[in-house]
Amino acid sequence: MRRLANRSSRSDESTELNLTPMLDVVFIMLIFFIVTATFIKQAGIDVLRPDAQTAEVKPTVSVLVAINPAGEIWIDNRQIDPGGVRAAIERLHAENPRGSMVVQADRGSRSRVLLQVLEAARLAGITDVAVSTEPD
């Protein structure tokens, strides 16, 4: 009689499914995808960029600045006051010092605002600056 009781308890234990290894694999895959994911930088607004025949693709962009036709400056999905552009650029450039800066100036924006942004970039120590254009 005693043997029968032991057999039934052993069979109950062997039918349990251990999910721990599967959860470990799922978490490792999740960590892998989070670490290897590339995040797309967005300035916060859409602009109509000017056409250019010499358009190039910049592989590493750490700072993306947009200027709309009204002269508003957008960095990292926020409108920035012209006096705070340098500080915002320095903060984003510190996160990725090897990256470059791209300015998306709308076709209807004033060159004065573009020059203010370029001057702030130079004062922030960024030398690799490009103006975004549409391929011709």
At 8 the pLDDT is 54
Question: Tens digit of pLDDT for each residue in 3-41?
Answer: 555 555 555 556 778 888 889 999 999 998 888 776 666
Residue 27's identity, in one-letter code, is F
Angle between helices 111-123 and 85-95 (to 10 degrees): 50
Q: d(Cα 83, Cα 81) in Å, to the nearest integer? A: 5
Entry pTM = 0.63
Q: d(Cα 20, Cα 135) in Å, to the nearest integer? A: 52
At 56 the pLDDT is 73
Q: Three-state DSSP class for 44?
A: coil
The closest of 62, 26, 57, 21 to 43, measured between CA atoms, is 62
Taking residue 77's Cβ as centre, other Cβ atoms within 10 Å add up to: 12
